[in-house]
Amino acid sequence: MAAYYKKPMNKKRHPFGMDVRRRKICRFCENKIDFIDYKDERLLRRFVNDRGKIIGRRITGNCAKHQRELTRAIKRARQLGLVPYTAEVFD
Ligand SMILES: [Zn+2]
């Protein structure tokens, strides 16, 4: 009777659809930095995007501990006016 439709076999892929990437290492752990200086504007700037937003851990590869320290440092730096809260983007 009803010959059921057989699904075509999926192409072999990574289960999450993404290409397998190498694990990022936290650059603070790598350099053994315990304290992130909130006065170090150049460092902090690397962790905010052009709109002034803090870039997430998934992208930067920081570990939880250092990401936390970093956010704190960035927020502190914002109060001092070293890092912008928001930046105007001219599209
Ligand atoms: Zn770390």
Whether 82 shows a pLDDT value over 70: the answer reads: yes
The Å distance, Cα 54 to ligand 1 centre, comes to 16
CB 54 within 8 Å of CB 62: no
pTM of the complete model = 0.72
The pLDDT, as a whole number, for residue 66 is 97
**Which domains does the chain possess?**
48-91 (4.10.640.10)
The Å distance, Cα 10 to ligand 1 centre, comes to 39
Whether 59 shows a pLDDT value over 80: the answer reads: yes
The pLDDT, as a whole number, for residue 84 is 92
Whether 49 shows a pLDDT value over 80: the answer reads: yes
The pLDDT, as a whole number, for residue 90 is 73
The Å distance, Cα 31 to ligand 1 centre, comes to 9
The Å distance, Cα 11 to ligand 1 centre, comes to 37
